[in-house]
Amino acid sequence: TLVATVPASDDYTVTANSGGTAVGTYDVVLTLKDATKKWSDGTTASKPVSWEIEKVAPVWVVCKIEPSTWEEGNPPETISLIAETRSGAEVTCAKTVEQLKALPAGPYKIAFTAAETANYKSGSKSVTVTVTPSSTRSGSSAPPSTRTFSR
């Protein structure tokens, strides 16, 4: 549970500071120690002071494509899209396994996108895959520059 950090004071005590773990607004309640003193607004009653937990960017536990390199025209039988966030949000990849297998030679940045959840914003992370030129390819040409795919 997150709680507010309130500096100590000779003027007040913290009488409530329950906090929370979810996105939302929470109150800290301050009470004057001396009943003869007043707050700056002239009142003497306890004062709630609000603070907030905001949504944060996704925290990636793992994000990769395995294998990350293969030869053009000879993709591996199995390509694994592996991605998980700490929030457990649904994660999608900008390319399907079939689309990855069909890529021509070159380096590619492939985006994974995590959906928004109650406590986390949506967000993306890219991984690089490299399709090497086929060893049976005639002629020689340099692979194209890195291409980026995202949804």
Read off the pLDDT of each residue in 23-49 and give the average, rounded to a whole number.
95
Q: What whole-number distance in Å separates Cα of residue 21 and Cα of residue 18?
A: 10
pTM score, whole prediction: 0.74
- pLDDT-derived band at 136 (thresholds 50, 70, 90) equals confident
Split at pLDDT 50, 70, 90, the class of 41 is very high
Find the mean pLDDT for residues 36-59: 95
Q: What is the pLDDT of residue 86?
A: 94
Looking at the DSSP assignment, which residues form a beta bridge with residue 85?
A: 60
C-alpha 55/C-alpha 57 separation (Å) is 7
Instruction: Using a pLDDT cut of 90, give the percent of the chain over it.
Output: 84
pLDDT higher than 80, residue 109: yes
What's the pLDDT at 135? 82
Q: How many other CB atoms sit within 10 Å of the CB of residue 114? A: 26
